[in-house]
Amino acid sequence: MDGSRRLPVVTIVDVARAADVSRATASRALAGYGRIRPATRDRVRAVAEELGYRPNGLARAMRAGRSATIGLVVTDIANPFFAQATKAVASTASELGYDVLVADTNEDEKAERRAVLVFAEKRVDGLIVVPAPGSPHDQLLDAAYAQVASTPLVLLDRRRADHHCASVTSDDFRSAVDAVSLLVSHGHTRIGMIDGNWASSGFTSRRPRILGSAAAERIDGFREGLKRSGLSARPGWMLYASAREPYATQAAAASMLSERDRPTALVTNNSDVALAVVTVCHKLELEIGSDLSLVTFDDASWTAAIRPPISAVARPVAQMGEAAVRELVAQIGGRPPSPPIVLSNNLIDRRSVGVPDERRVQPHGEDSLLS
């Protein structure tokens, strides 16, 4: 023997006794269910922390028929948007008495299918999923979701036509319309867009057959914004670039901006594409805000730090994550799924949008409609 002694296990009875409450009250306070005064809940949790109490999750799940866990499936946890969303989900879930298991699919529907099946095996109480673009009605993916048909499900950031369940998204269509209106209000009529997605190879002017709902809404909103202003764009000014391939977005930006006959303003569908545009502008010695105006989706931290700061559509990331958890927990409690929850974005007008200098571009007659 090495002389070590195992520390005694702290039980829920020990916590109840130290907090001067009943065992049932202590259980409710720690699990976050039932009616209990906030002061009592806080006291019980403080005592549990002080004593080093750790609940037996498996035993609790067997007694209650629940695991007090939520499965979160995201498409790219390194993306600042999803990193922030994951943090909001974990924080809200913890507040409501749930742990969160996270899977990263890297925008792959096969990885999404595996994650759903693994979480089903772990008997999570509910799922929050950012769906990979995938093919609608993918039979294998449908089969995976069929295995968790009785498990509450909320889609986050994206919707899928073949998933009739609750969803939490932001109003990206309207925000794209507003971004175009902002540029038009400054006198721009030569406006382009670059979309970064996981379906394209290199970059192309042909719209990919498969796009996530958020990307599709931004593109459709961009087109609608041009239409409302009596404008159109040439195919070379609406490009789709691969997010999987290094420098594909830079190549797309360079092809559009290196010509003298180029747009005076751009909308980018995320901050990674915006950064590629800024990089190319530096190489081409184009000044953001004067030679080229720029509006991007997703207000990444760097967009306000550079000079000039970049006008951006700020999405309510934390609120979306919190809303998804609260919707899911309500379903776990027996409430039917809510209609789609769509939160408003905030278009921040910074100095990257200026008045166009038409002398710096070569007119090319009337623009043609996108095919």
C-alpha span between 259 and 281 (Å, rounded): 12
- Burial bucket for residue 2 (CB in 10 Å: 0-12, 13-18, 19+): exposed
Nearest to 352, CA basis, from 302, 306, 299:
306
Strands (DSSP E) contained in the chain are 69-74, 99-104, 126-129, 153-156, 166-170, 191-197, 203-204, 238-242, 265-268, 293-297, 311-314, 341-343, 346-348
Residue-wise DSSP of 318-342: HHHHHHHHHHHHHHHTTPPPPSPEE
8-state DSSP, 288: B
Task: Give pTM, 2 decimals.
Answer: 0.78
- Amino acid identity of residue 314, one-letter, is A
Looking at domain 12-55, its CATH class is mainly alpha
Residues lower than pLDDT 70 in the chain: 1-8, 32-34, 55-65, 134-140, 162, 358-371
pLDDT (tens digit, 9 = 90+) per residue, 324-345? Answer: 999 999 999 999 999 999 999 9
Instruction: Establish whether domains 66-169+317-344 and 172-315+347-360 are of one fold.
Output: yes
234-262: burial string, b at 16+ Cβ within 10 Å, e else: bebbbbbbbbeeeebbbbbbbbbbeeeeb
Q: How far is CA 180 from CA 142, 161, 190, 225, in A?
A: 37, 27, 11, 5
What kind of fold does domain 66-169+317-344 have according to CATH?
Rossmann fold (3.40.50)
**Long-range Cβ pairs for the range 161-164 (8 Å, 24+):** 161/136, 162/136, 162/137, 163/131
N-term to C-term CA, the chain: 79
Read off the tokens for 137.
């009605």
Q: pLDDT at position 370, please?
A: 33
Q: Domain extents for the chain?
A: 12-55, 66-169+317-344, 172-315+347-360
Name the residue with tokens 């038009």: 184
**pLDDT for position 347:** 98
- What is the pLDDT at residue 282? 96
Cis omega (within 30 of 0) for bond into 308: yes
The pLDDT of residue 177: 98
Determine whether domain 172-315+347-360 maps to CATH 3.40.50.2300.
yes
d(CA 45, CA 21): 12
